[in-house]
Amino acid sequence: MAGPSTGSPALDQIVARLGGTADPKRRYEYVLWLAKKLQPLPEEFRTDAFKVKGCVSQVYVVGQLEGGKLHWQGDSDAAITKGLLALLIEGMEGLTPEQAAAIDPSFIAATGLQASLTPSRANGFLNILRMMQTQARTLTGSVAEARPADF
């Protein structure tokens, strides 16, 4: 497997697949394929609360906690950004909030995607990851507060 573990087996698999591809066009096609697989985002989540700041395109990402595991939804109006979002959603699906928050963004370099991305898209990719990690940390806090009502 290429590079260090991210802490997410699914993300490691995606990183290894991208990093093992020498052809930038193939990487790009894979990211676009991931975009096509992304489920539609319900309209109620298209609000500023779920909008990723610092992205040139419109990007929304929503994390929800069920049974201690994170489940993600999202959308973007730009195909490549939607693919990058889909990559993160697939890679971080089912993690605990702690696992998601602990992912080191250095894995992005191991994907080899920088060669294909404009600086603003590469920065957007990082901003999406940071937003997801922030949501994961927030959800961890809300679980602790919600627990007494569960008993």
Q: How far apart are CA 134 and CA 101, in angstroms?
A: 7
* SS3 state of residue 41: coil
What is the four-CA torsion angle of 99, 104, 105, 106, rounded to 10 degrees? Answer: -140
Active-site residue 55, yes or no?
yes
Question: What is the C-alpha to C-alpha distance for residues 66 and 49, in angstroms, rounded to an integer?
Answer: 20
Element (H, E) at 60: strand 59-66
Question: Is the torsion defined by CA of 44, 70, 90, 61 positive or negative?
Answer: positive
SS3 56: coil
Could you say which of 15, 38, 55, 128 is catalytic? 55
Tokens of 71: 């489940």
- Please identify every residue annotated as catalytic: 55
